[in-house]
Amino acid sequence: MIRNARKDTLIAYVLIAPFVAIYGLIFVYPTIDMFILSFKDAPLIAFGPQTAEWTGLDNYTRLPDDRRFGTAFWNTAYFVLLSVVPGTLVALAIALGITRLSGRLQSLVLALFFLPYILPVSVVYRIWDWTLNFQFGIAMHLFDTLGIDRVPIFKTSTWFMPAVAFVTIWWTCGFSILLFLAGLRAIPAEIYEAAELDNANRWTVFRKLTWPLLWPVTALVLTIQLILQLKIFDQVYLFSVGGRPNDNLVMVYYIYQRAFQNDDGGRAAAIAVVLFMIVIIVSVLNFQLLRLAERKT
């Protein structure tokens, strides 16, 4: 059958045109506009030629002296440290446990662990506020029963980030569990049968077989979690209500304050650009380090 290459190419362009148009409209154009806005002193709400003043790199040079920017940066890094690797390890451990189950019990346990992932963040906030609230939380009544002093978990800087990281791991690990289960089921059963014939114990099988073969999935989970947690906002915003939000600032929360509370579009755009570059650089470095580790294993 003779095919018209030019016609096929034209059809291909027509099919991808809607996606390219939508992608350019909702991502490429706003990104370019964000970069341009970051070089101006302009309000976000009343942005226009008459209100914008070109300031060059001034919005960027002022960031190192901005105390709240420093707080947001280090809080974000602290949260990533508390949530990315621990969340990946927890998901891996749960996935390994689920693979040892079978039938309806396996499906039930998997559903129980995946259920939090489909909940909206407002429901997650309400569940854990009912649990850990200083005044009426279920955990606080349990502390009273055991004779332990109540702890204002979401009102103190010491406990806030660890608590939010714990809630985030509980909320998001369901998706990582599914990825690990897919990776575990892709490992041929013959490999484990051969290891059993060699009388290899469970730790040896995991260290020599399961972990190296599961490394690509682990790298994927780590990269996804790293990108997601660098953009943390919802949980911090909700759990900061009634507390000390300026002490619990993270990067996206600070962007929100600058843009929508202070109406400082230029500074907010500059911080957004910094976060954008951090996500790209850290993701690329993470991917390269994981590839290097994979080669060594």
H-helix or E-strand containing 40? strand 40-41
User: Nearest to residue 82, comparing CAs of 289, 247, 226?
Assistant: 226
pTM (predicted TM-score): 0.85
Q: How far apart are CA 121 and CA 63, in angstroms?
A: 30
Query: How far, in whole angstroms, is CA 125 from its chain's centroid?
Result: 17
Q: How far apart are CA 275 and CA 277, in angstroms?
A: 5
Give the 3-state secondary structure of residue 262.
coil
∠ CA(220), CA(222), CA(224), 5° rounding?
70
Confidence at residue 9, expressed as pLDDT on a 0 to 100 scale: 84
Which residues pair with residue 41 across a beta bridge? 53
Q: How far apart are CA 264 and CA 260, in angstroms?
A: 8
∠ CA(84), CA(86), CA(137), 5° rounding?
100
Confidence at residue 145, expressed as pLDDT on a 0 to 100 scale: 85
Confidence at residue 274, expressed as pLDDT on a 0 to 100 scale: 92
Buried b (16+ CB within 10 A) or exposed e, 31-61: eeebeebbbbbbbbeebeeeebeebeeebbe
Which residues pair with residue 53 across a beta bridge? 41
pLDDT tens for the chain, 297 residues: list them. Answer: 556 777 778 888 889 999 999 999 988 888 898 898 888 887 776 544 456 778 888 888 888 888 999 999 999 999 999 999 999 999 999 999 998 888 888 889 888 999 999 999 999 999 998 888 888 888 888 888 888 888 888 888 888 999 999 999 999 999 999 999 999 888 888 887 787 777 777 888 888 888 888 888 888 898 899 989 999 998 998 888 766 667 788 999 999 988 888 888 888 999 999 999 998 888 888 777 777 766 665
Contact 165, 279 (CB under 8 A): no
- Enumerate domains of the chain plus CATH numbers: 46-296 (1.10.3720.10)
User: Nearest to residue 169, comparing CAs of 123, 117, 224, 204?
Assistant: 117
Contact 55, 69 (CB under 8 A): no
Confidence at residue 3, expressed as pLDDT on a 0 to 100 scale: 63
Residues 6 or more apart whose CB falls under 8 angstroms from that of 206 comprise 96
Confidence at residue 120, expressed as pLDDT on a 0 to 100 scale: 92
Confidence at residue 46, expressed as pLDDT on a 0 to 100 scale: 58
User: Nearest to residue 244, comparing CAs of 166, 182, 115, 156?
Assistant: 156
Helices (H), 133-264: 138-146, 157-185, 189-197, 202-205, 211-230, 234-239, 251-256
Q: How far apart are CA 37 and CA 39, in angstroms?
A: 5
